Structure 1
């Protein structure tokens, strides 16, 4: 497993471990979701700027701008960043490593209409659906 830098470890430690609307809303209104959170997604996963910008529904250029400390985000981008980090935390917990979770996200899957789970991560509902599948796996479903 790749060693996670301290800033990313702290961010991941603080985000909710499961997607729960009240926890997510509380986090959004009490924390400053900033460039460090976006950078944590990039550092924690093996996904490139193109894929992550697609998840956030922004251009690659805008994504790269978001990685700069002086930029502020729209509320919907903050929410998507937080949901993705929560999903990553949950996925690491289920699979035991970032690498295994990344591989699962990239594999076509029957439960995802024979698409890869990462193709669902560009909407709030899609992130929640992937998170629900992770929870199902925790309880013995063959996902």
Structure 2
């Protein structure tokens, strides 16, 4: 049973693009059941607390915890936000080599983010895309 659970988790993450691509995100939103497993994957792929992640999703901690339960229903905007966060995490891990290193970068003041910490931008779709663009710039030699 544990092997089946891990396989489903890997399948879920395999379908998430490693860099945000609007077409791929739309396909996931249209073709996949974005559910509690996606929220659980966020929690598993970051060291941030429920408080922080609920802020990213613009929901209360209680609502976020409900999202982690089977049979939870999500609004379309929450589904999109969840998929984009997973994509960003996947990209960040690829750029930094580990979840921990990416989480640390998200928590450090950064010139390219107007001397704010990148994590403060994760509560909007535009902010997530901006962070993703900065990660791509880093891959190509920009010092961010």
TM-score by length of 1: 0.94
Describe the superposition over 1:58-86 as per-residue Cα deviations: whole angstroms up to 9, x where unpaired.
Answer: 01010000101011100000000000000
Aligned-CA RMSD value: 1.1
* Alignment check: 8 A CA contact 1:8 1:44 kept: no
CA deviation after TM superposition for structure 1 residue 104, in Å: 0.5
* 5+ long unaligned stretches in structure 1: none
Describe the superposition over 1:94-123 as per-residue Cα deviations: whole angstroms up to 9, x where unpaired.
Answer: 011111111111111111111111100000
**Residue 28 of structure 2 is aligned to residue 27 of structure 1:** yes
The residue correspondences of 1:1-16 to structure 2 (distance < 5 A) are: 6=6, 7-16=8-17
2-structure distance, mates of 1:131, 1:57: 19
Determine the structure 2 residue equivalent to 1:97: 98
Number of equivalenced pairs = 139
Q: Which runs of 4+ in 1 moved over 2 A?
A: 5-11
2-structure distance, mates of 1:9, 1:103: 24
2-structure distance, mates of 1:23, 1:64: 27
**Residue 77 of structure 2 is aligned to residue 76 of structure 1:** yes
Determine the structure 1 residue equivalent to 2:120: 119
* Alignment check: 8 A CA contact 1:55 1:121 kept: yes
SS at match of 1:47: coil
Determine the structure 2 residue equivalent to 1:108: 109
2-structure distance, mates of 1:11, 1:45: 16
Determine the structure 2 residue equivalent to 1:18: 19
